[in-house]
Amino acid sequence: MEKSVESWNYQLIVSVYIMTLLASYLFLPCLCRIGTIKIAAASIIFFVIGLRILLAWKRKEKSNDWKIYVTFMFAGPLFIEVILGH
């Protein structure tokens, strides 16, 4: 059986990107050094994912990899909170 390959769903990806980026900046910060570290880590994660999305768009990629990046965007802030905590 052949694996179904589809083009990237950019509308969904950009919507999730904006939503999770805003959520990260609203819920991760606290008025302490660890809050600054959390925001820096989130910014790096979102920057790397943003570059990957732009690369896929530029290359007109057709794969199911976009689903992984949507998962990373949702899991990124949670991962940062679990690892760095309060």
Domain boundaries, the chain: 10-84
Which range among 36-40, 47-51, 73-77 has the greatest average pLDDT? 47-51
pLDDT of 11-42, one tens digit each?
888 888 888 888 877 777 677 787 788 888 88
* SS3 at position 16: helix
Query: Could you give the maximum distance between any two Cα atoms of the chain, in Å?
Result: 54
pLDDT of 56-66, one tens digit each?
889 888 887 77
10 or 1: which carries more pLDDT confidence? 10
Q: Which residue, among 6, 16, 3, 4, has the nearest Cα to 53 in the 3D structure?
A: 16
Q: Which residue, among 31, 24, 7, 32, has the nearest Cα to 78 in the 3D structure?
A: 24
pLDDT score, position 65? 79
